[in-house]
């Protein structure tokens, strides 16, 4: 008897915890029985729960099946399903102990719980695999139309920014062709075939024709051996890149690279600033073949840090405007007035301020010394000064 009560108490406690954390997932049309059941759980009232279960013996199977049906609705999230199945399991367990109820209902609930856990495990394992594929800044896997692709026997697409960046500055695509926000572009094969989105270049002239069925396998390669070289930079070949550059109307000069290899930072990612510095390449700035309409801005801004041991940051407009348009940052991300922006590392980690690019397509913000490299005593000539914030006066 004591063991039985202990088991029931454990079930009650677990369900109380679940109820507290997932209260928002309750059905708007939940029954009076379920409402009372949850009230008893919150009050941790085992006696009241016993009375409720015994009193409603006849309707409990229907209540459990109702919870199961609601849990398995397609629009329910994993958390919502787990919550509802946990409640169903608690009711079924109590029904067995107090009403000698049907054990098959509990088995049914437990089977669904195991299935949901397995499905979630596979889903999260997929995310981990995607994270590996996206380790190189700018690489991302397109899964928005995963079911449609699977129906046609196609794998998802892995987009390697680093290969495209070798021949085109970021300003070519962003933001005229693609909004630089994941999921904001509604990519589709129909639009590509109309010469939009990827079809602006992948038209058989600038690059291979993405509308040709025989070329599907050149992009839809997630999970295939062909995707591996895109993730470890081994796709790079000096002669191959030189041929591509000639075809797209730009330059690639592997003879300017030390040892013929791509320059990388301490994390093993491409150092694009170094590529520009040694004139190893000259990416296109637009698709019409003309000069860069916006040009390059030369202004430098010294951001002073308030932390004694951390060096200042010299922000180079030249480096950034070589790659991106002014409108990428101003005025939405940064106000175009000196001293109007307080850049915080915590915001970068959340994808704000510099983190809009750094950590995604540019070198990660965790490589601190790439930016914090000017001593407090060193003020570059001609640089504008963004002074460090002063501490608020003591109250």
| 49 CB-near residues (< 8 Å, 6+ apart) | 12, 37, 40, 41, 94
pLDDT for the residue 4: 46
Q: Give the CA diameter of the chain.
A: 86
Question: In the numeric block, which tokens belong to residue 338?
Answer: 């000196």
Q: How far is CA 175 from CA 103, 179, 363, in A?
A: 60, 5, 20
pLDDT for the residue 42: 87
| 293 CB-near residues (< 8 Å, 6+ apart) | 286
CATH 3.90.10.10 maps onto the chain at 140-282, 300-386
Collapsing DSSP to helix, strand or coil, 42 comes out as helix
Fold of 300-386: Cytochrome C3 (3.90.10)
Rounded to whole angstroms, the Cα distance separating 58 from 41 reads 21
What contacts 24+ positions apart, CB below 8 Å, involve 353-356? 356/180, 356/329
User: 331 forms bridges with which residues in the sheet?
Assistant: none
Per the rule left: phi > 0, alpha: psi between -120 and 50, beta: everything else, 343 is beta
DSSP calls for 253-314: -GGGSGGGS--B-TTS-B-HHHHHHTT-EE-BS-SSSS--SS-----EEEE--SSTTSPEEE
Per the rule left: phi > 0, alpha: psi between -120 and 50, beta: everything else, 138 is left
Collapsing DSSP to helix, strand or coil, 380 comes out as coil
Question: Can you give the pLDDT of all 395 residues of the chain as single tens digits?
Answer: 444 445 445 544 444 444 444 443 444 357 999 999 999 988 889 999 999 999 999 999 999 999 999 999 999 999 999 999 999 999 999 999 999 999 999 999 999 999 999 988 877 777 777 888 888 988 999 988 888 888 888 999 999 999 999 999 999 999 899 998 888 999 999 999 999 999 999 999 899 999 999 999 899 999 899 999 998 899 999 999 999 999 999 999 999 999 999 999 988 899 999 999 999 999 999 988 778 888 899 999 999 998 888 899 999 999 999 999 999 999 999 999 998 988 888 888 888 899 989 988 898 888 888 999 999 888 888 999 998 875 444 44
pLDDT for the residue 57: 94
pLDDT for the residue 16: 43
Q: Which CATH superfamily is domain 140-282 in?
A: Cytochrome C3 (3.90.10.10)
Rounded to whole angstroms, the Cα distance separating 10 from 298 reads 67
Which helix (DSSP H) or strand (DSSP E) does residue 63 occupy?
helix 60-71
DSSP calls for 209-268: -TTSGGGGGGT--TTSGGGHHHHSSTT--HHHHHHHHHHHT-EE-GGGSGGGS--B-TTS
């Amino acid at each position: 008897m004591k063991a039985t009560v202990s088991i029931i108490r454990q079930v009650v406690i677990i369900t109380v915890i679940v109820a507290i954390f997932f209260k928002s997932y309750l059905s708007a049309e939940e029954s009076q029985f379920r409402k009372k059941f949850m009230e008893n759980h919150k009050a941790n009232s085992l006696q009241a729960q016993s009375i409720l279960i015994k009193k409603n013996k006849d309707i409990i199977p229907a209540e459990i099946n109702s919870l199961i049906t609601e849990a398995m609705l397609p629009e329910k999230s994993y958390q919502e399903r787990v919550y509802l199945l946990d409640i169903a399991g608690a009711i079924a367990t109590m029904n067995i102990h107090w009403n000698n109820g049907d054990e098959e209902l509990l088995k049914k609930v437990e089977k669904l719980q195991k299935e949901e856990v397995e499905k979630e495990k596979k889903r999260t394992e997929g995310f981990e695999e995607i994270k590996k594929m996206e380790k190189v800044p700018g690489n991302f896997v397109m899964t928005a139309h995963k079911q449609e692709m699977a129906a046609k026997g196609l794998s998802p697409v892995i987009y390697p920014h680093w290969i495209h960046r070798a021949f085109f500055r970021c300003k070519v695509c962003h933001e005229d062709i693609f909004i630089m926000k994941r999921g904001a572009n509604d990519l589709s094969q129909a639009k590509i075939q109309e010469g939009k989105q990827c079809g602006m270049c992948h038209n058989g002239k600038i690059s291979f024709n993405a509308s040709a069925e025989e070329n599907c396998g050149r992009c839809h390669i997630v999970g295939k051996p062909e995707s591996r070289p895109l993730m470890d930079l081994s796709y790079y070949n000096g002669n191959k890149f030189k041929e591509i550059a000639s075809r797209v109307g730009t330059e690639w000069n592997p003879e300017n690279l030390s040892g013929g290899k791509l320059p990388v930072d301490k994390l093993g990612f491409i150092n694009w600033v170094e590529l520009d510095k040694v004139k190893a390449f000259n990416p296109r700035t637009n698709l019409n073949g003309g000069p860069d309409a916006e040009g390059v801005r030369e202004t430098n801004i010294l951001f002073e840090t308030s932390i004694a041991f951390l060096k200042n940051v010299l922000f180079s407009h030249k480096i950034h405007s070589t790659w991106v348009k002014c409108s990428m940052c101003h005025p939405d991300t940064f106000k175009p007035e000196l001293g109007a922006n307080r850049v915080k590392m915590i915001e970068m980690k959340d994808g704000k301020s510099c983190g809009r690019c750094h950590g995604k397509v540019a070198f990660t913000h965790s490589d601190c010394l790439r930016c914090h490299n000017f001593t407090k005593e060193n003020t570059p000539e001609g640089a504008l000064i963004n002074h460090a914030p002063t501490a608020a006066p003591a109250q």
